[in-house]
Structure 1
Amino acid sequence: MDSHRKLIPFLLLFLIQLLSSGAEARHLLRFRARKLFVFGDSYVDTGNTMKADSSAWKDPYGETFPGKPAGRFSDGRVLTDYIAKYLRVKSPSPVPYQLRESKPEHVKYGMNFAFGGTGVFNTSSPYPNLTVQIDFFRQLIKIKVYPETDLNGSVALVSVAGNDYSYYLHTNGSIQGFQSFVASVINQTTRNLIRINELGVKKILVSGLQPLGCFPQITFTSSFQQCNSTFNALVDIHNTLLNQAVAKLNQLAKDNSTFIVLDLYDSFMSVLKHMSLKPCCVGVSSGFSCASADDNNVKKYSVCDAPKSAFFWDLLHPTQAGWHAVYNKLRKTTALQQLHYH
């Protein structure tokens, strides 16, 4: 007994030193998600789109990671991969819903229901919108793939809405009606977040909208020299309403539920101060895009020499290096730090 008492001061000293070291303490105490469930669009999709009709399954996508096309809309890793890393989910990244039967060993770590091109509402994409993605999740819970009691320590990542606004503008939606449309997108997003929470997930990350006015699809008119302030002002409307909606959800939250906004706008803009707006992979002419080929399967695109130095991979999506830089900004924010401790 006396020897144990003598040990106590040394143990206390050790703990104090450990806790004061910061990085080591965070590593030990950081919340470890049992599972990660992902919903949304191409920014978080890791392989749900069909190979026959998606550029993400064609060269040169995936050339940095995993070394071949694998359904990610980038040359390598996307936001999902970095959030999974941050949460220390045991699987490298949640298995795509479409591949769940071919990779059953990964199902226990969560699942990715996101499909490239989709939105909160229906878009030009043939794939399921956010509501239907959550329906898939609900069905898996219903058949006990994920017992409700096992969801408390899980995290959901939701990244959606960019395609809703693109579709709205491409189908002659008016600027005058834009604010009303944004409100409908936010209202439906809020309902979807509540639904995920009611299914048992207590910690829900939702991405704010990225600066659409900085996308190469828009900035090509300025030879990729400057962002379009009009588009970014529209994005600001969305992000303001989203933050207000999430703040209200947290006021009403029960059972230790937490809703967290990931500020993609500021993290993108912060990184873009030091990186070019010019995309790495482009079509050889206006009729082609990244991964295009002619009828003889001759490639009709070019890839920059150093994807690691480029922020944008194609006209819409970051490179792995771009996502990594954004992730490095995000993990220093209070948003992600809310997940540090269980």
Structure 2
Amino acid sequence: MVKQNQSTITFLLLPLLFILFISTKIEGANKLFVFGDSYVDTGNALNSGSYKPPSGITYPGTPAGRFSDGRVLTDYIASFLKIDIPISYSLKNSSNLQNGINFAYGGTGFFKTLVDGPNVSVQINSFEQLIQQNVYSKSDLETSLVLLNSGANDYTTFALKNTSLQAIQQFTESLVKEVVVNLRHIQSLGAQKIALTLLQPFGCLPIISSTSGFQNCIDTLNLVATNHNNLILQNVDDLNKEIGKPVFKTLDLYNTFLSTIQTMQKSRAENSTLMNPLEPCCAKDSAGVNCGKVDDKGQKNYTLCEKPELSFFWDNVHPSQNGWSSIYTQLQSSLGQLI
């Protein structure tokens, strides 16, 4: 009799449990759509160094399209959402679209950059075409998270063409206007949860901090990123007020980079055997040589640190897996507000 009652109760509870499961799924983010550059690209730049050794040496153990020794920001955000990483647009087919798509392409920006790849506007247009083809529904967009990381390559391109910093403020204003145009475009497609990263501190990148012997970040260039980010925050706030709800959120790469670097520097001051966070793991002692570059005979023209898992930067501009892991840990509270 007791067994029969238990069976009856279990039978009656099954529909309720199913409803709760579905409700929980809807409240979270079912898919992840990614736009931007190498900080979030997981496989679109097919002819780049991301598919050549020593990329991927930590994860997955072989080059796999990430500009790092292992996981990048996209990987960690997907894990936070409890989904597999979305397939890269270049590798998509009809059967691997269930987790979303990653359109990000290493080296690109909002404007035309030094890399011949699809900028953010083109990436969003590709997304819109899939929506028009009914690959993704309105419900997909409403319940999914959009991640956008770009802008650093635009500043690099600008700096190589302009010897004076006097024009930088005007460029920042024009770039932020373009960011807003793209944010509006994504939202117009039906997306309700859009995360925009703030720019990293440029002056801490090894390619810049090398001028101080990797001892200090260069504050002048950090100020460029700070001014950009402040303008972004103002415009995101205005957009949310215009829409009437917080569709757009920002992820603070600037302060998470600084915080992690400062923490690692403090630890190193107490233990000199630890790695300097401003030094790249790959190609530190190879001036003018990129990580992964080989000569005509296939011999390495770069050096590699002994323990990539202790580094913050993988190469001259990209964090290592350890770096991204540290950044993600600090971003988790912000991610919780997104879903």
Question: Is the structural similarity TM-score above 0.5?
Answer: yes
> Could you say what secondary structure the match of 1:336 adopts?
helix
In structure 2, C-alpha distance between the alignment counterparts of 1:44 and 1:29, rounded to whole Å: 24
Q: By how many angstroms is 1:248 displaced?
A: 0.6
Identify the residue that residue 300 of structure 1 maps to in structure 2: 301
Cα pair 2:200 2:254 within 8 Å, conserved? yes
Secondary structure of the residue aligned to 1:157 is strand
Correspondence for 1:73 among 64, 67, 72: 67
**Which moves more between the two structures, 125-134 or 149-158?**
149-158
User: Which piece of structure 1 moves more, 172-181 or 191-200?
Assistant: 172-181
- Give % identity: 46
On the 8 A contact 1:272/1:311 being kept in 2, the answer is: yes
Letter in 2 for 1:228: I
Q: Deviations over 1:222-281 (max 9, x none)?
A: 110000000001111100000000001110125x55100100001110000123211101
Superposed CA offset, 1:308-342 (max 9, x none): 1100000000000100000001113xx323124xx
Q: Which residue of structure 2 lines up, in the alignment, with residue 286 of structure 1? A: 287
* Aligned counterpart, 2:210: 220
Does residue 153 (structure 1) correspond to residue 135 (structure 2)? The answer is: no
CA RMSD of aligned residues (A): 1.8
Deviation of 1:286 (Å) = 2.1
Hey, what's the Cα distance between the residues in 2 that align with 1:301 and 1:284? 7
Match of 2:191, SS state, is: coil
Q: Using the alignment, how far apart are the partners of 2:54 and 2:327 within structure 1?
A: 22
Alpha-carbon displacement from aligned partner over 1:118-169 (angstroms, at most 9, x marks no partner): 0111111100111000000001111111122321101100000000001100
**How many angstroms apart in 1 are the aligned matches of 2:158 and 2:26?**
41
In the alignment, is the contact (CA less than 8 A) between 1:35 and 1:110 conserved in 2? yes
Matching of residues 1-342 of structure 1 within 5 Å: 31-51=27-47, 54-89=48-83, 92-101=84-93, 104-172=94-162, 174-254=164-244, 258-275=247-264, 276-282=277-283, 285-332=286-333, 335-340=334-339
Q: Give 1:285 shift.
A: 2.8
How far residue 88 of structure 1 moved from its aligned partner, in angstroms, is 1.9
Comparing 161-170 with 269-278, greater Cα deviation is found at 269-278
Task: Look up the match of 1:7.
Answer: none
Aligned length: 306
String of CA shifts for 1:26-83, please: whole Å, max 9, x gaps.
xx799421111000000000000023xx111110000111110011000000001111
Question: Does the 8 A contact of 1:32 with 1:88 survive in 2?
Answer: no
Equivalent pair of 2:42/2:66 in contact (CA under 8 Å): yes
Task: Give the CA deviation at 1:173.
Answer: 5.4
The question of whether the paired residues in 1 share the 8 Å contact of 2:110 and 2:175 is answered with: yes
Alpha-carbon distance in 1 for matches of 2:289, 2:108: 22
Q: In structure 2, give the amino acid aligned to 1:337.
A: G
CA distance in 2, matches of 1:326, 1:38: 18
Separation in structure 2 between the aligned mates of residue 56 and residue 302 of structure 1, nearest angstrom: 17
Q: Secondary structure at the match of 1:206?
A: strand
- What is the rounded CA distance, in whole Å, between the counterparts of 2:288 and 2:205 in structure 1? 18
The alignment partner of 2:216 has SS state of coil
Structure-2-length-normalised TM-score: 0.87
Report SS of the residue matched to 2:127: helix
For structure 2, which runs of at least 5 residues remain unmatched after alignment?
A: 6-23, 265-276
Cα distance change on mapping 1:252 and 1:126 into 2, 3 Å = same
The code of the aligned residue for 1:83 comes to I
Native 8 Å contact 1:120 1:130 kept in 2? yes
